Amino acid sequence: MARLTFLGAAKTVTGSQYVVEAGGDRLMVDCGMFQGSKELRLRNWEPPRVEPASLRALVITHTHIDHIGRVPRLVKQGFKAPIYCTPATRELAEVLLLDSARLQEEDAAYFNKKRLTKHDPALPLYQEADVEAALPLFKTLPLNTVQEAGPSFSFRFQDAGHLLGAASVDLTLREGGRETRVFFSGDVGRFDTVLAHNPELAPPADYLVVESTYGNRSHPLVPVSEQLEAVLLRTFARGGVLLIPAFAVGRAQQMLVLMHDLVQRGRVRPFPIHLDSPMAIEATRIYSSHPEGHAPSLSTIGGRDLFIDKWVSVQRTRAESEALNKRKGPAVIISSSGMLSGGRILHHCRQRLPHPENTLLITGYQAEGTLGRRLLDGAHTVRIHKGDVEVRAEVTDLKGLSGHADAREMVHWLSRVAPPPRRVFITHGEELAAMALGALLQKERGFTTHVPGPDEVVELP
Ligand SMILES: [Zn+2]
């Protein structure tokens, strides 16, 4: 009988990885990294539960590291089948996986230097060479095109909104002369959000695997652009600089579009924007070359010519980045990392936080223990690069710019699913969020739902 194993994102939001077995064959959906607590991160090091060489294919929903971060390791462990994803995901994956490898090599080197490890020497999960070895296995597949993967599987991608290239996976299993349809949501984006498409509604299926990141929450009603307008006007009235730590892929591009729109509508006078992150610059180039992948197109702010646009300047080198220290307001600096856990944003913080005219604008979720979280919680002094930095600047955040549909939006996304599936598996959420979404779908739609635990195996009769 066909089976589905939940190897990650089960009662947690990271480590997405599922294996489907049918007709004696195996296919994997997503191969993400576990992130967050040490207990979770240790799971990245566990031996594979399924022999990598036995897989017929790996199907990737999108390029976030919690969905692709373990791909180079899987290849290192013997996987050699095709890795299917959309064309934009392939381009972004190269940028993000190489960055991920570099971060791990740096971390390992740091632990070894500080002798902070019981392992001697500390090793990275994988290296740049492992990413280079994995890239030739990637095969791109446009949305809504059916792909066969051996005698037992076929699948197609469907637009999931969320992020450039992000898709749901509509998988058909063939076994014993009958077909079973299993639909994987991937990460489902918000409706009517900035830059990303609306997610395409889920089709009827025999089984669904549904994400629940915001399964017990609802997004605020004040539009993001109104919040941003108020922050810009306040900061510029003080003659300050607005510092925006942003995730290089997705969030940085959304911020560019939002600010362009405010200037276009005459809500804010034109001001210089500095995009100070090589990875964000590269990701913006990829976004610009895929106008079909988002709405409105980035071409509205210059498209491929974005980098010579008169009001967006880019800082590729460290020297260019440091030259920004002399810049006076009004101006905006967008820099990584999004949670202030490293990168160039740190030297901007050291420079700008002690001055009350400036603003630090947080644009996304800040994990426990990060500098971003401490600043949002109102720290008066923070430690950056071994020095104490006094915080006199305004620190605030934009609410509702999430990449994930909330509970009501998920109910809407599932509105075309009829008759009820045999079972709906709720994954990719903390346990409370997953249980809440499961209960909501039971109550409103009469769906039979189940929240699987880590490594749980279910049969698909
Ligand atoms: Zn995602």
Expressed in angstroms and rounded, the spacing between residue 21 Cα and the centre of ligand 1 is: 25
Could you give phi then psi for residue 121, rounded to 5 degrees? -85, 165
Expressed in angstroms and rounded, the spacing between residue 166 Cα and the centre of ligand 1 is: 8
The contacts of residue 199 (CB under 8 Å, 6+ apart) are 159, 160, 161, 162, 168, 188, 189, 191, 405, 413
Expressed in angstroms and rounded, the spacing between residue 67 Cα and the centre of ligand 1 is: 7
Expressed in angstroms and rounded, the spacing between residue 73 Cα and the centre of ligand 1 is: 20
Q: What is the pLDDT of residues 11-51, one digit of tens each?
A: 999 999 999 999 999 999 999 999 877 888 889 999 999 99
Expressed in angstroms and rounded, the spacing between residue 417 Cα and the centre of ligand 1 is: 23
Q: What was the pLDDT predicted at 227?
A: 95
Distance from C-alpha of 285 to C-alpha of 303, rounded to nearest angstrom: 8
b/e string for 154-175 if b means 16 or more Cβ within 10 A? bbbbbbbbbbbbbbbbbbbbbb
Retrieve residue 347's tokens: 């030297």
Q: What is the pLDDT of residues 305-349, one digit of tens each?
A: 444 455 788 888 889 999 999 999 999 999 988 888 888 999 999
- Least confidently predicted of 43-47, 85-89, 97-101, 306-310: 306-310
What is the secondary structure of 405-452 as a DSSP string?
Answer: -BHHHHHHHTTT--SPPSEEEEESS-HHHHHHHHHHHHHHH---EE-P
Expressed in angstroms and rounded, the spacing between residue 348 Cα and the centre of ligand 1 is: 27
Retrieve residue 448's tokens: 């039979």
Q: What was the pLDDT predicted at 116?
A: 60
